[in-house]
Each structure stands twice: as C-alpha cells, then as structure tokens.
C-alpha cells in the first residue's frame, strides 16, 4: 500500500474520462472509486475494476455523508494523504508560466498538461508548506493567476480536486459537521480547518479541466445534489448562519458567497459583518432562523428581493 490515495467520488456513471485514464498513475498512487449505496448504476463501475486499486461502496444518501465516509475510510486504511476528486474532471490539466503571458494584457493563455502532473505538484507544495489542505485555482480563473504563485489561506477553492493531509486533520478533529445538509460541506470543512490554525494553500498557476467545460453553469442537469437553484441557495443561507459569510447578488439575480478566507484563520469567534447590507442580510436570516429553526423559500426570496433592490439602487445612481 502506498501512503497516498486518489479517492474518486462516483455517482450514476455520469462521467468516465477520469476513471478511464486514472490507471496511468497507479505506479505512484493507490486509486479507489467510492460509490454510494443509493446509486442505481452501482454495478456499472465494475467494468473499471482493472483501472483502480479498489471500488468501495459507502452507506451514504447525500454528498456530505459520503465525503465523511470516504475521509474516515482512507484514514482507517492507513493513508497519510488523500486526493479527493469529483468524477466530472477531464484527464487534463492547465498551467501557466511566463511564456504564456499575453502581450495585450496582464492575463495568461494557459497550456494543457498531463493530469498526472497536477497530482505530483499539489502533493509537493502541500509538503513544502506543511498545509492540511491544498487545491488549485478554479479553471475559469486560470488566465488571471500568476506563475509559481501559491496562496496561503486566501483565494481558496474548496471543491472538485482537493488534497488532504489526513494525519494532520484527524489529529485536530476536523470533520464534515453538516451531515444533515445545513451547510455547504466542503466549504465548511475548509473553514473549520483554517479556524483550527491549519494552513490551506491554493496553486494559482495550475488547474484542471471539467467535462461540462463550465463551472458557472446555469442549469442543474449535471448536479447530483440539487433539483433547482433554491437547493443551492438554502446552503448559502446556512453558511451565513454558521460562519457569517456575506451574500451578494449579480445582475441576473443569482446569489453568491463572498468568502474572505484569511479572516477565518486561527480565530476564536466568527468575523462580524462589516457593511450595512451584510448586517441587514445576516439579521434577516438570523431572525427568521430563530423563529422557524430552518431556512426555506420564504426567507430566500426575502434575501433575494432585498439584495436585488440594493443592487439596482447602487447601479442606477
């Protein structure tokens, strides 16, 4: 057994490019496909048995429970490091260096690289910085990164392709707390890591490819978790309740988190909302939660209406 495992979360056999190529790194890393018990296409993964070290089915009916089960299982098996990958990644990476600099702007035109280089580089940088978690810049922003830039506790990415130092995280009792889905499980986990004083890094000069080619898709066709936007919005509101994460809205009326990651490092209490808008939104959500003990469509619509009105006022001056 190797000391590092690549754990791939699979569900309903949606995407296979990553799984079909992952055997190319079996000489360096163990690879385990993690399916879940309520997957009606579970048997279809048996065709990839020769491409991986093992296929394990965990008893989980949502993504938070599944991530916790995978996290616990890989630690139980004795791995020190764990890559956690979603199944919708392409078998390709993105990379920028000084030769990628555009002449007409400060941006960069990325190069495509072999996916295995992502694993090696992320693991090396984690060890170099003694980080508990490590990730890449979101694919959408790779052209705005800087060559060789590794950010610590800022400009972070909490999902899709993450590396964990299992020993360091378990020693500090970091867990996926929100198993009943009252929070965004990967963001909460990363914030709890930072709150505990453990460094999290992001490589701003490398990223990965996605099979749907668009991180900011407007539909939910490729989502295994949500049926509509409100499912996502409820988690955004829960994150505001639990971590005081500010919420913004764009011109389409779509809600977004505005996470100032550096404000969560090694803290004893949550950061306070700064702007009037953030205070109003947080108070709206907290008052509703204190009365109803949940978030739902009513409070979500109220937040959207308030933020949209504020957005229109500020953009029509």
Question: Residues 11-45: pLDDT tens digits?
Answer: 998 899 999 999 999 999 999 999 998 888 989 99
CA-closest candidate to residue 158, choices 185, 180, 198:
185
Cα separation, 181 vs 261, in Å, equals: 21
Question: Residues 35-89: pLDDT tens digits?
Answer: 998 888 989 999 999 999 999 999 987 888 899 999 999 999 999 999 999 999 9
259 lies in which domain range? 229-315
> pTM score > 0.75 for this model?
yes
User: Domain check: are 63 and 187 in the same one?
Assistant: yes
Under 8 Å between Cβ of 304 and 229: no
- Predicted confidence band of residue 281 (pLDDT cuts 50, 70, 90): very high
User: Domain check: are 99 and 234 in the same one?
Assistant: no
Number of domains in the chain: 2
User: Domain check: are 147 and 273 in the same one?
Assistant: no
User: Domain check: are 178 and 30 in the same one?
Assistant: yes
User: Domain check: are 130 and 164 in the same one?
Assistant: yes
User: Domain check: are 195 and 235 in the same one?
Assistant: no
Cα separation, 6 vs 72, in Å, equals: 14
Among 160, 176, 210, residue at a domain's last position:
210
């Amino acid at each position: 057994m190797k000391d590092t495992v690549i754990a791939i979360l699979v569900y309903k056999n949606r995407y296979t490019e990553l799984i079909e190529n992952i055997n190319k790194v079996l000489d360096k890393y163990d690879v385990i496909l993690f399916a879940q018990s309520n997957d009606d296409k579970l048997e279809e993964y048996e065709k990839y048995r020769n491409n991986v070290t093992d296929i394990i089915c965990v008893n989980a009916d949502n993504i938070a429970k599944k991530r916790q089960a995978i996290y616990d299982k890989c630690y139980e098996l004795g791995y020190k490091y764990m890559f956690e990958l979603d199944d919708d990644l392409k078998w390709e990476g993105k990379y920028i260096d000084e030769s990628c600099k555009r002449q007409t702007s400060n941006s960069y035109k990325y190069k495509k690289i072999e996916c295995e280089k992502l694993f090696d580089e992320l693991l090396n940088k984690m060890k170099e910085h003694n980080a508990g978690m490590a990730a890449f810049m979101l694919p959408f922003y790779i052209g705005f990164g800087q060559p060789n830039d590794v950010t610590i506790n800022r400009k972070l990415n909490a999902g899709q392709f993450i590396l964990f130092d299992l020993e360091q995280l378990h020693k500090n009792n970091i867990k996926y707390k929100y198993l009943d889905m009252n929070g965004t499980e990967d963001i909460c986990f990363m914030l709890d890591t930072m709150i505990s004083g453990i460094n999290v890094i992001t490589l701003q000069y490398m990223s990965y490819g996605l099979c749907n080619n668009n991180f900011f898709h407007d539909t939910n066709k490729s989502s295994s978790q949500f049926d509509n936007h409100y499912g996502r919005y409820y988690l955004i509101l829960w994150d505001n309740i639990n971590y005081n994460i500010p919420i913004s809205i764009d011109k389409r009326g779509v809600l977004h988190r505005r996470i100032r990651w550096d404000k969560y490092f090694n803290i004893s209490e949550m950061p306070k909302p700064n702007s009037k808008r953030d205070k109003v939104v947080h108070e709206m959500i907290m008052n509703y939660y204190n009365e109803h003990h949940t978030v739902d469509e009513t409070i979500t619509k109220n937040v959207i209406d308030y933020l949209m009105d504020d957005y229109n006022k500020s953009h029509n001056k």
